[in-house]
Amino acid sequence: MAMGGGGSTYKSADGIWHAAIDIEPDRATGRRRRLTAQGKTKAVANTRLRMKLDAYVRKGLTPNSPSPRLMDWLETWYHERAEANLRPNSRRSYENAIVRLNRIAGARRINSLDKDMADIQDA
């Protein structure tokens, strides 16, 4: 499963298959990063790893991937940053706002939103 090098698939002593791949170093710290997955079979482990890698690319977390879609970024931001600090009514308000934003522009890439907003203001 070596995708561009730095990857491996192996079976551990307990019979579980492990798949791993190096991705680019963390931009802030320069530390090595690896995606890993495991499964009962080699195919399952490799499939899970591909799914993780696809999610990284979709969210724009790899250098060669396009910028993330607004809906993916909002989901990540909400669950990782905002959700834990909100009261129940605020949480519902945020969730409703995210649903409305996703209906309007959720499928658009973040780096294209400036251009799209300028087009809307000119109209």
Share of the chain above pLDDT 70, in %: 81
Q: pTM of the full predicted structure?
A: 0.51
Share of the chain above pLDDT 90, in %: 32
pLDDT tens-digit map of 22-38: 887 776 777 888 899 99
The mean per-residue pLDDT over the stretch 60-88 comes to 79
The mean per-residue pLDDT over the stretch 5-27 comes to 87
Spell out a b/e string for 31-68, using b for 16 or more CB atoms within 10 Å of the CB, else e.
Answer: eeeebebebeeeeebbebbbebbeeeeebbbeeeeeeb
Domain locations along the chain: 7-58, 70-122
